[in-house]
Amino acid sequence: MSLAQRLLQARKDAGLTLDQLAEASGLSKTYLWELENDEEGVKKPSADTLMKLVTPLRTTIADLLGLETVQVNDQKIEVSHSLKEFCEWMKKTDRELSEDEVRDLAMMRFRGGQPKTVDDWDDLYRTLKRTTKR
């Protein structure tokens, strides 16, 4: 699904008209219509724009962007691209991560950020394994 399709579906699921979403988000009805009808993916809304939409739509940025997530205690947690690459690399080396391990890694934040490379995820994973003895 495209962002346009996910946005339209989220608006319908929330039971909102374009006018209602425009009022709730502070974005123009015209701009919202353009986003919902952008099947070519030309429009690239900013993070600020997406943040204005998620509350009235009762969704997440990850859901709007179609990013992979895992469920934790009824809370969705985004699996970053670099973590997904690390999981695939681990699987290729016959060390597939459990769902719990992926969830734990996805929840990790250091100064608000996460590792950006497979090597950095590997370092973090090895450190956690060593310190938790799991």
pLDDT tens sequence for the chain (134 residues): 889 999 999 999 999 999 999 999 999 999 999 999 998 889 899 888 988 998 899 888 888 888 776 655 666 777 889 999 999 999 999 999 988 888 888 887 766 678 889 998 988 888 777 766 65
pLDDT given at position 106: 85
* Secondary structure of the chain in HEC code, one letter for each residue: CCHHHHHHHHHHHCCCCHHHHHHHHCCCHHHHHHHHCCCCCCCCCCHHHHHHHHHHHCCCHHHHHCCCEEEECCEEEECCHHHHHHHHHHHHCCCCCCHHHHHHHHHCCECCECCCCHHHHHHHHHHHHHHHCC
Domain boundary assignment for the chain: 3-65, 69-132
pLDDT given at position 6: 92
pLDDT given at position 91: 93
CATH for 3-65? Answer: 1.10.260.40
pLDDT given at position 47: 84
